């Protein structure tokens, strides 16, 4: 099995400083490159921080083959009718290279900055279900009218539609059974962060459990497990995946053994989240990447 490997480039630098990273990821042969879709994220909220769709559009113009995606977009500050226009444009500019990561959205700055209430987990999944259904409909059909609990659309248009048909692939974040049922219904890919654990072995055990739950959701939907790509965010573990090249190779191997088709790491930062040495990334990309993709 070929393992596809992706990298997250946080939108925390001016484009004049960050564009070389997107070019380099493309040239190195990473399969996909992602950025976070937040208005601000954790203790990096004080900036700098830039918009995901604009960043990915710029990235599409300086790359040629790598797939590009949001990790992940959420209903915290997006409406399906407006977002569908952005998705269609980004798929067009990238010539069909967009992967649309979707999730329920967490609590914090994104859920508070617009002045709305902070929703409990069940309501966030309810909102995601409606968001996903409506977004799927608008991206596939022209002239959608919808009145739901969370969203309203009146004659929402999608012309000319996505480059990818019938629409861009949805890579859906899910760890619980209700969100996994949404993946089974709408997703072309599933991405998981695993459990919140401080011990690495406990984290891997939780990831294995999530795989079993995803299999059960697919079986309940009468869907073949081979029709769903599986993405693992390696750096949600209590150890940065690029702490060494050997450690990265080991983590990729463990993901492959659990049936993941794709893994995602992060471009090392100088400090704070995903702090690491860029020389490790260079070593992985130039020496190990071709071999690891055949794991």
Answer for the pair 104, 69: CB distance below 8 angstroms, yes or no: no
Which residues of the chain, if any, have pLDDT below 50?
none
pLDDT of residue 292: 77
Euclidean distance between CA atoms 116 and 107, whole angstroms: 11
Residue 57: per-residue pLDDT:
98
H, E, C per residue of the chain: CCCEEEEECCCCCCHHHHHHHHHHHHHHCCCEEEECCCCCCHHHCCCCCCCHHHHHHHHHHHCCCCEEEEEEECCCCCCHHHHHHHHHHHHHHCCCCEEEEECCCCCCHHHHCCCCCCCCHHHHHHHHHHHHHHHHHHHHCCCEEEECCCCEEEEECCCCCCCCCCCCCEEEECCCHHHHHHHHHHCCEEEECCCCCCCHHHHHHHHHHHHHHHHHHHHHCCCCHHHCEEEEEHHHCCCCHHHCHHHHHHHHHHHHHCCCCEEEEECCECCCCCECCHHHHHHHHHHHHHHHCCC
Q: What is the pLDDT of residue 1?
A: 60
- Which two structure tokens, joined as six digits, stand for 42? 């954790």
- What sign has the CA pseudo-torsion 186, 254, 193, 49? negative
The per-residue pLDDT for 294 is 65
Distance CA 24, CA 57 (A): 16
Contact 194, 211 (CB under 8 A): no
**What does each C-alpha distance from 142 to 53, 186, 202, 261 come to in angstroms?**
22, 19, 47, 33
């Amino acid at each position: 099995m070929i393992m596809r490997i992706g990298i997250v480039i946080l939108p925390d630098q001016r484009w004049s400083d960050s564009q070389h990273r997107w070019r380099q990821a493309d040239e190195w042969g990473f399969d996909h490159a992602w950025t976070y879709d937040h208005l601000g994220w954790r203790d990096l909220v004080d900036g700098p921080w830039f918009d995901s769709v604009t960043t990915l559009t710029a990235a599409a113009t300086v790359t040629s083959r790598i797939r590009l995606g949001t990790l992940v977009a959420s209903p915290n500050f997006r409406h399906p009718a407006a977002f569908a226009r952005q998705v269609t444009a980004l798929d067009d500019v990238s010539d069909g290279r967009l992967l649309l990561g979707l999730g329920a959205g967490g609590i914090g700055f994104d859920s508070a900055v617009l002045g709305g209430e902070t929703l409990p987990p069940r309501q966030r999944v309810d909102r995601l279900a409606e968001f996903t259904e409506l977004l799927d409909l608008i991206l596939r059909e022209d002239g959608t009218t919808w009145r739901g609990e969370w969203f309203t659309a009146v004659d929402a248009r999608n012309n000319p539609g996505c480059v990818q048909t019938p629409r861009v692939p949805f890579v859906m974040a899910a760890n619980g059974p209700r969100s996994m049922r949404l993946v089974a219904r709408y997703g072309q890919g599933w991405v998981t962060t695993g459990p919140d654990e401080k011990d690495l072995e406990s984290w891997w055990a939780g990831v294995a459990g999530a795989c079993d739950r995803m299999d059960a959701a697919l079986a309940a939907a009468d869907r073949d497990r081979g029709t769903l790509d599986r993405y693992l965010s390696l750096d949600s573990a209590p150890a940065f995946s690029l702490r060494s090249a050997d450690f990265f190779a080991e983590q990729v191997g463990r993901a492959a053994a659990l049936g993941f088709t794709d893994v995602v790491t992060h471009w090392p930062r100088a400090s704070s989240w995903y702090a690491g040495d860029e020389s490790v990334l260079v070593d992985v990309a130039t020496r190990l990447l071709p071999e690891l993709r055949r794991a």
